[in-house]
Amino acid sequence: MDQFQKMKIISIFHFLFLIFSTFFFIAQPSRIHNLTSSQNRLAFFIFGDSFVDPGNNNFINTTEPFRANFTPYGQTFFKYPTGRVSDGRIMPDFIAEYANLPLIPAYLDPHNKLYIHGANFASGGAGVLVETHRGLAIGIETQLRYFKKVERSIRKKLGDSRAYDLFSNSVYFFHIGGNDYKVPFEGSSVHEKYSETEHAYMVIGNLTAVLEEIYKKGGRKFAFVGIPPLGCLPHTRLLNKNGDGSCWDEASALATLHNKLFPIALQKFADKFPGFKYTVADMYTMLQNRIDNPSKYGFKEGKKACCGSGKFRGIFSCGRMRGEEEFELCENPNEYLFFDSYHPNERAYEQFAKLMWSGDSQVINPYNLKQFFQYGSLQA
């Protein structure tokens, strides 16, 4: 019996454990810096890509590279693949816990009919630009459309006044844009006619247009995760044409450009729209620090993935469901910063979530997420 067959058998035996563990997780009190029960009613809405997708892609017509509903994904916490591109939980799971909210499920999950605590619209492979993975992921415009459906549902249930209070107190969390900057380095020629700066302004312009639509529905508190160092992921190291396994500097430079320009655009947006509050987490630095000094943060390996194949396990073959004949899987995912060729593991996601929740301005600026959830509409 090969490794893949063994994992399939294990996942079947743990199916019921998934249900138990999910409800157990929801029922647990927050472990760090939790809020009091007297907080204003609010919800948590998540938009983005595979770093924050809880399994929406399980329910769309897409291809295997855009799914994670097979083993070994989910093996650490849920003991069963949920669709999260991780060995366990992802950032929104931890943030919801710290905020004393239930686990926020995938919007497209047919069992999810109640949105009073929020909804997660994120989709693995999603981008801000329409051309990014068109037809394979739920782009930001469709995620916005889903949010508007939820908004109408909640407004109908609560009435205009109570719904407005809910939406103005709620937190809107975004992790998106990385795919828009990554696809040019993976063979796509869609954006070749634009300069790097033009490309960045297109991404930022499309994203701020989405923010304006949410603002019109009452949204006031927006949290953003910056673009990570794209050139230092195991997959992009493998693709780097110089062949020495170093980071692909050109890819990381696009992330740096976006991270420089986006806060400027957000401040201009805040100047134009009264009450709009934003904060930005520096994912680039958080991830790069762990790549460069893994042992400082409790990891043994910062460059090579736990699951995949080839050099750095940078071939995106984890789970052997993507057309690859074989893949390698490490014994202890907690020792590896990256679980697969693109994505950090649960332990890293928890570290990032803690820093976003209660970190200082070197990590997340100008507010941390605890302040966003705790202080109503953050009136100046």
Question: One of 49, 53, 87, 340 is an active-site residue; which one?
Answer: 340
Give me the helix-helix angle, 3-13 and 15-27, nearest 10°. 60
Question: One of 11, 50, 309, 317 is an active-site residue; which one?
Answer: 50
Rg (CA), the chain: 20
Give me the helix-helix angle, 249-272 and 196-216, nearest 10°. 40
- In the chain, DSSP assigns E strands to 44-48, 118-120, 171-175, 221-225, 277-281, 307-308, 328-329, 364-365
As given in the structure block, the two tokens for residue 293 are 């000094």
> In the annotation, is 244 catalytic?
no
Number of helices (H) and strands (E), helices first, in the chain? 12, 8
- SS3 of residue 257 by DSSP: helix
Question: One of 14, 133, 191, 343 is an active-site residue; which one?
Answer: 343
Find where tokens 């949920």 sit. Answer: 82
> In the annotation, is 340 catalytic?
yes
> In the annotation, is 343 catalytic?
yes
As given in the structure block, the two tokens for residue 175 are 């992790």
Find where tokens 């907080």 sit. Answer: 39
Catalytic residues: 50, 340, 343
